[in-house]
Structures are given as structure tokens and as C-alpha cells.
């Protein structure tokens, strides 16, 4: 988790062909003691996130797994072992070809950077 004020970050990797070795290498790009990286080859975190976003089933038989997604929670919210994660207060994604996800929340490039900045500023404001 990355804490900056009330901001915490966790990085889960294991989707789209990642290997444990590639994840370890990628984790070196963000070296901060407040960030936790973990390898999730079974995509358990991504599947749990799908549930918390209220997905009810992919239309084309694709796996419902969230990746390239940015979730924001209230400071007191926690993921409990064995429980679905809470619904985020705000979120956005980069999943252009997934039928199960709200495409109005897709952001890429500069639009993503701007939305992340705006959301973090809004959520940490006193």
C-alpha cells in the first residue's frame, strides 16, 4: 500500500501472461516502502474486483477479470480475507474491449493522468 495522506496503493500483477520473474522486474519501477506488490497468477484479486463493481456476467464468454484498473476507497475500508472487497468510491479503467465493465469510466493517456490527479486531489482534500 502506498500512503500519501489518505492514499494507499497496492499493485497486483499476474494477468495477461505475466510470470513471477517479470512481475519482480516490473515491481522495481516503483520502489517505495508504502507500495506493496504481489504476484497473483490465479487472478483472484482481479476476479474479486469484478464482483465489487457489480458485474453480472460477460456477454461473450470472456473471463471476468479486472486489470489495468484504478480503485479508490474510503480510508477506513479494508479487504477482509474471504470477503468480497468493498465497492470503491471512485474508479476508472483501461479495458477497452471488456463487455462487462462500464465503458464510460475508461480513461487512457493524458485523460487517465488528469482523472487520476483530479480524483486523488478530491479525495484527500480536507
The neighbouring-strand residues paired with 38 are 12
Q: Is the pLDDT of residue 11 over 80?
A: no
**Count of the separate structural domains present in the chain:** 1
Residue 45 lies in a domain: yes
Strand partners, 12: 38
Question: Are 79 and 51 within 8 A, CB to CB?
Answer: no
Instruction: Tell me which H or E stretch contains 117.
Output: helix 109-124
Tell me: the pLDDT tens digits for 15-74?
A: 556 788 887 887 888 777 777 777 888 888 888 888 888 876 655 555 688 888 888 888
Is there a domain that residue 70 lies in? yes
Identify whether 1 is part of a domain.
Answer: no
The answer to the question of residue 2 being in a domain is: no
Residue 113 has pLDDT above 90, yes or no: yes
Q: What is the domain extent for residue 90?
A: 9-124
- Let me know if residue 69 belongs to a domain: yes
Residue 4: inside a domain, yes or no?
A: no
Amino acid at each position: 500500500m502506498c500512503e500519501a495522506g489518505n492514499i494507499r496503493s497496492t499493485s497486483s500483477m499476474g494477468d495477461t501472461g505475466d510470470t513471477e520473474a517479470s512481475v519482480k522486474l516490473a515491481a522495481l519501477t516503483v520502489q517505495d516502502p508504502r507500495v506493496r506488490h504481489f504476484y497473483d497468477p490465479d487472478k483472484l484479486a482481479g476476479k474479486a474486483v469484478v464482483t465489487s463493481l457489480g458485474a453480472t456476467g460477460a456477454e461473450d464468454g470472456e473471463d471476468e477479470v479486472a486489470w489495468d484498473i484504478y480503485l479508490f476507497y474510503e480510508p477506513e475500508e479494508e479487504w477482509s480475507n474471504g470477503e468480497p472487497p468493498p465497492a470503491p468510491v471512485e474508479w476508472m479503467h483501461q479495458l477497452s474491449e471488456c463487455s462487462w465493465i462500464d465503458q464510460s469510466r475508461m480513461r487512457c493517456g493524458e485523460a487517465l493522468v488528469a482523472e487520476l490527479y483530479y480524483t486523488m486531489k478530491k479525495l484527500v482534500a480536507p
